[in-house]
Amino acid sequence: MVGAFYRIHTTRSGLLPPNHTKNCSDADDAAEQIRCLVRHNPCSTGYTPLATIDSTPIVAAPVNNVAPTIANVQKLVLDGTPYPLARKLYLNSIIGFDNIPDVGADPGKDAEIELAKCFASLPFNGTINVASPAYDLIPLPAGTSGVPTGLCEDFDLHALCGSSSPNVNGCAANPTGIPTSSCTNGLRDGIEIGVDLCPAGLSCNTTSKQCQ
pLDDT given for residue 52 in this prediction: 61
pLDDT given for residue 86 in this prediction: 92
**Ramachandran angles phi, psi of 9, nearest 5°:** -80, 5
The stretches in the chain having pLDDT less than 50 are: 1
Q: Tell me if 26 sits within 8 A of 10, measured CB to CB.
A: no
The ranges assigned to domains in the chain are 5-52
Give percent above pLDDT 90 in the chain: 41
pLDDT given for residue 7 in this prediction: 65
pLDDT given for residue 156 in this prediction: 82
Provide the whole-model pTM: 0.81
pLDDT given for residue 1 in this prediction: 47
pLDDT given for residue 104 in this prediction: 64
